[in-house]
Amino acid sequence: MPHELPKSYEPGAIETRWAEYWVYEKLFSVSTPPAGEARPVFTLLLPPPNVTGRLHMGHMLNQTQMDIIVRWHRMRGFITLWLPGTDHAGIATQMMVERQFAKEGKKRRDLGREKFIERVWEWKKLYGGAIFDQMKRLGASVDWDREYFTMDENLSHAVREVFVRLYEEGLIYRGKYIVNWCPRCETAISDLEVKHEEVAGKLWEIRYPIVGTDEFITVATTRPETMLGDTAIAVNAKDERYTHLHGKKALLPLMHREIPIITDELAQPEFGTGAVKVTPAHDPNDFQAGKRHNLPQIDVMDEHAHMNQNAGAYLGLDRYEARKRVLADLQEQGFLAGEKDYTLALGKCDRCGTVVEPRLSEQWFIKIKPLAQKAIEAVESGEITIVPENYKQIYLNWMNNIYDWCISRQLWWGHRIPAWTCDNCKHVIVAREAPLTCTKCGSTKLEQVSDVLDTWFSSGLLPFTTLGWPEKTRDQAVFYPTTLLITAYEILFFWVARMIMFGCHFMQEHEQDPAIKRASGWADKKNDSVPFRQVYIHALVRDAERQKMSKTKGNVVDPLEVIERFGTDATRFTLAAMAAPGTDIAFNESRTEGYRAFANKIWNAARFMFMNVDRLGFAWGQSPSPALSEAEGAVQPGQSPDSSRPAAGIVGFHTATLEDRWILSRFNRVTEEVNDSLETYRFHEAANRIYDFFWGEFCDWYLELIKHRLISTVGDEARTACGNLVNLFDAALRLLHPFMPFITEEIWQAIYDGKPHLQSVALASYPQVNENQVDLAAETQMAVLQDLIVSVRQLRLDLKVEARVKVPIELFVHDAGTGISIMQNEDAIKRLANVGSITNVEEWRARQAPSRGTSRFDVRVVYERKIDVAAECERLKKELEKIEREFANNQRQLNNEQFLAKAPSNVVEGLRRRAEELIVLIDKTKSKLHELGCK
RNA sequence: GGGCGGUUAGCUCAGUUGGUUAGAGCGCCUGCCUUACAAGCAGGAGGUCGCAGGUUCGAGUCCUGCACUGCCCACCA
């Protein structure tokens, strides 16, 4: 029994086996095509997971969608490169390792920079490897020969190159500015890394005495502790309440320092008291005001947000402790004028949740406007398209309101900034490699700046650095721009926007090999500097209660655990089937359970096929899965891969019977729909089409219809049926493969008995529609048959006919065509509805027995058994009501001249046809009610 | 303070350009171990599409307002 599959479907064993096979055989490794080879190319960069831990459900959704698209392209004949990698994730990873140290009672500073970094590398080896193992388990068909890590030497080299070039172009500058500072992480963070949270706070009013008078000026503040660093009070020049104080000085309470009263737009008359304290070292707005008025900057806190020596008596206190003390002291000395409830948006560190402190410090920045301009143009002009489209506007809004990007971090883990400070003259040298002497004074005492770069600086370069930049490589000529980026909304600004900015800036000179064909519809694209042509933004995976998954809430669903229980195929299918663009996914295990049942269904259908194949000694090779190199799947140069070709559809399928013509037609239509859906990232649509086709049409109807030919007939008839079955199954497996790669590979390999002409179904061609195989007449005939069979089944249950009993039926057909197609398929009806004989009656005679029908036929089961007449009457009445309602509606429209004049003819035609049907149905239902003697 | 999305069956969700009778899975009810599958088969019940207006021959679908809900962005003390 060579083709026998185990009786029960056990995904675990199958999946690990094929996952290993794909990797071991290097099936997805891509060698760069030589010049002159004209095949279409599809390139996708994996958004590199952080090396901070395990993959979560969001990764799995992301990778499932990418893998579906990637496998689909590969099967359509594209040279398909999917580049995998991981991100060093500077601050996040450093935090994880620090936490590990904290458990050992150690701090990173105890170890020193070098030793600490060694430990992080160990961590990286452990978790980076684990992430790749998990990806293999998901079936991600990446090119494992091209793995990258953002801190690899070649990528680090490119990072230095970019930094130096930007510096030389004047786009990177260094300076002392107010930045977002996390006192726990002890580093600057970018605006994007600050999350605002509304909290109930207070607005305090403080009175400052005016020097030389007994007057006071009252200011409002949410952060009284910063008053210790006040260097002015601002009022609005137009605010008449304070005109008499212009040029006067106020005495800063607690510090006994005289500060000027200045006029500045910073103060808005309608807010608070109209007067505002100015603290240039602790507030970005005040910082700007301070610059305008040449005010001193007095920093009163250290890097831990503890008060420093500038805070006088408050030295050493934590900022909140200091706040309490300041307020108490103000109160005691009579300077506290009031206290109001106030809601404020508190900035917190994205990583650790600590309240961010605006802090004056020396940092490196990217002058962003010139870069943003090109990135705006690339999207506005359509050189890059964003799907769903509403994200385009979000992207543009953000880009248009962008501020300079603080790229330096006071961390240890990351790309160290390629800048050196001269010990002697303090000159700063930015260079690609460590300089030996100071370019200014010649000193050899140089020390590299200790800061590292924001982790997004290096990941923003990946689309070209992974292809060998700054060298001009063949890889770049072939694979850049990448085709597509699939990512989560969360990192649209962090990552996507940065890649666009960097790509457009650094790849201006890029020359793409003109022989390389891209996906269809891109002929009009001119700007080859963009990092990708299209961005697909996918949803967030939430838990079953629609809550965002987070470790702190403890509602994180571990994909591997789900996979363990239901299999990767079922889990992937769940994510695909729920991924309607634009809406988040509430991950619901009952769905996964349902899709495991689907996989089981496929499994058993395959067992049924093999059972017959083996019994009939069906000869192999009659229906080989077409290879990509063969006419069907291969894409010719200049040809769009999705256009239909002569060999599309299913080759060598025999269409002697109605069910064969029907299923072939259905397969082709489903194929077309699936391809169309994938073209527009409508994963859920594609998945549901395949599901409905395989289960609802192929298994429920087709298999049942061909059973007797397989089992009860001999010779050619059975063999033809079996050949069709194998052929169809093969095609269905190819159609399904991108969604459920493992089970399809397992069955496909079994079909070819371990001797496939291709190494994998993943290298076979993806089905394409063949219009000649679409047969609408067969679909209509089949629909009548199905209606009839269902009608009889309903009647059997109404009459409580025992399941095994064959019953005779009385049939009345309304037109000759219906009669002919029913009688041609008499056997099928008898088998599927367990009918003994069919009597075709010339006229429909009244009798007190239930009947069913459509506008094409009426049917009655001949069986002596009392039925619940009242219940049947009730049902019929309800039905009559419904169709009469519809008829009334239908007539209202058909009698409406406006409708007839304006509605398209096919709609009017449809309604007319329906009207005829409804008249028949109403008439019949009424006579049935009469037959049964209902009131 | 700005912007975006959601509200459809008991639950979770589909429903592309407005067009004939609004769908699926799960759950529920009834009957079946029919030799591929009980993770299954056959049949069934269940919805005034959040509310109020409007546009239209025609609205779940478009417009306006409202309610509830979720998210993102934001250097006004």
Could you identify the residue whose CA is nearest to the C1' atom of nucleotide B19?
A907
CA distance A37 to A321: 70
DSSP state of A384: S
Nearest to A809 by CA among A865, A863, A861: A861
Q: What is residue A332's three-state secondary structure? A: helix
| Protein CA A829 to sugar C1' B32 (Å) | 19
CA distance A23 to A28: 8
CA distance A232 to A279: 7
* Cβ-based neighbour number of residue A292 at 10 Å: 13
Rounded to 10°, the helix A568-578/A559-566 angle is 120
CA distance A221 to A160: 43
Could you identify the residue whose CA is nearest to the C1' atom of nucleotide B25?
A591
Check: CB of residue A38 under 8 Å from CB of residue A515: yes
* Cβ-based neighbour number of residue A663 at 10 Å: 29
| Protein CA A601 to sugar C1' B40 (Å) | 9
Confidence of residue A416 (pLDDT cuts 50, 70, 90): very high
Report the pLDDT averaged over residues A863-882: 77
| Protein CA A804 to sugar C1' B34 (Å) | 8
| Protein CA A851 to sugar C1' B44 (Å) | 17
Check: CB of residue A705 under 8 Å from CB of residue A828: yes
Could you identify the residue whose CA is nearest to the C1' atom of nucleotide B27?
A590
The tokens describing A496, both together, are 């996507």
| Protein CA A902 to sugar C1' B58 (Å) | 10
Which nucleotide has the shortest C1'-to-CA distance from A597? B39
Q: Using the predicted structure, report yes or no on whether residue A283 has a pLDDT greater than 80.
A: yes
| Protein CA A680 to sugar C1' B17 (Å) | 15
Confidence of residue A552 (pLDDT cuts 50, 70, 90): low
| Protein CA A904 to sugar C1' B17 (Å) | 15
Whole-angstrom Cα Rg for chain A: 37
- In tens, the pLDDT along A345-360 reads 888 888 888 889 999 9
The three-point CA angle A912-A915-A918 to 5° equals 155
Q: Report the phi/psi class of residue A750: left, alpha or beta, with left for phi > 0 and alpha for psi in -120 to 50.
A: alpha
- The pTM score is 0.91
Nearest to A434 by CA among A104, A764, A797, A164: A164
CA distance A935 to A932: 9
CA distance A561 to A753: 32
Using omega within 30 degrees of 0 as the cis cutoff, is the peptide bond preceding A388 cis?
Answer: yes
Q: Report the phi/psi class of residue A519: left, alpha or beta, with left for phi > 0 and alpha for psi in -120 to 50.
A: beta
More confident residue, A169 or A509: A169
The three-point CA angle A446-A448-A453 to 5° equals 160
What pLDDT is stored for residue A639 in this prediction? Answer: 41
Which nucleotide has the shortest C1'-to-CA distance from A890? B20
What pLDDT is stored for residue A619 in this prediction? Answer: 63
DSSP A82-139: EE-EEB--HHHHHHHHHHHHHHTT--HHHH-HHHHHHHHHHHHHHHHHHHHHHHHHHT
What pLDDT is stored for residue A917 in this prediction? Answer: 82
Could you identify the residue whose CA is nearest to the C1' atom of nucleotide B3?
A394
Residue A712 phi, psi (nearest 5): -100, -10
Report the pLDDT averaged over residues A454-477: 93
Which nucleotide has the shortest C1'-to-CA distance from A912? B20
Which nucleotide has the shortest C1'-to-CA distance from A591? B25
- Contacts of residues A28-31 at CB distance under 8 Å and 24 or more positions apart, as own/partner, are A28/A74, A28/A80, A28/A82, A28/A141, A28/A142, A28/A143, A28/A144, A28/A762, A29/A143, A29/A144, A29/A145, A29/A146, A30/A79, A30/A80, A30/A81, A30/A143, A30/A146
What pLDDT is stored for residue A443 in this prediction? Answer: 84
Residue A846 phi, psi (nearest 5): -65, 140
Confidence of residue A499 (pLDDT cuts 50, 70, 90): very high
Contact positions of strand B to protein Cβ (< 7 A): 3-6, 12-15, 19-21, 24-26, 30-34, 36-37, 39-44, 56-58, 70-77
- In tens, the pLDDT along A555-603 reads 677 888 899 999 999 999 999 988 877 777 878 788 888 999 999 999 9
| Protein CA A567 to sugar C1' B26 (Å) | 19
| Protein CA A679 to sugar C1' B12 (Å) | 26
| Protein CA A718 to sugar C1' B49 (Å) | 50
Length of chain A: 935
Percent of chain A having pLDDT more than 70?
Answer: 94
Using omega within 30 degrees of 0 as the cis cutoff, is the peptide bond preceding A481 cis?
Answer: yes
Q: What is the ipTM of this complex?
A: 0.94
Check: CB of residue A634 under 8 Å from CB of residue A75: no
- In tens, the pLDDT along A756-805 reads 677 889 999 999 998 889 998 899 899 989 999 999 998 888 888 888 88
Which nucleotide has the shortest C1'-to-CA distance from A700? B41
Q: What is residue A50's three-state secondary structure? A: strand
Check: CB of residue A91 under 8 Å from CB of residue A187: yes
Which nucleotide has the shortest C1'-to-CA distance from A602? B37
> Residue type at A21?
Y
DSSP state of A4: P
DSSP state of A310: G
Q: What is residue A645's three-state secondary structure? A: coil
Which nucleotide has the shortest C1'-to-CA distance from A903? B57
Could you identify the residue whose CA is nearest to the C1' atom of nucleotide B57?
A899
What pLDDT is stored for residue A906 in this prediction? Answer: 80
Confidence of residue A635 (pLDDT cuts 50, 70, 90): very low
| Protein CA A700 to sugar C1' B41 (Å) | 9
Report the pLDDT averaged over residues A26-41: 84
Could you identify the residue whose CA is nearest to the C1' atom of nucleotide B39?
A597
Nearest to A408 by CA among A186, A596, A169, A252: A186
Which nucleotide has the shortest C1'-to-CA distance from A852? B43
| Protein CA A689 to sugar C1' B60 (Å) | 22
Q: Using the predicted structure, report yes or no on whether residue A634 has a pLDDT greater than 50.
A: no
Q: Using the predicted structure, report yes or no on whether residue A114 has a pLDDT greater than 50.
A: yes
More confident residue, A493 or A646: A493
What mean pLDDT value characterizes chain A?
86
Helix ranges (H only) for A359-448 are 369-380, 390-400
Percent of chain A having pLDDT more than 90?
Answer: 33
* Cβ-based neighbour number of residue A924 at 10 Å: 22
What pLDDT is stored for residue A675 in this prediction? Answer: 92
Q: Using the predicted structure, report yes or no on whether residue A706 has a pLDDT greater than 90.
A: yes
CA distance A234 to A237: 9
* Cβ-based neighbour number of residue A199 at 10 Å: 12
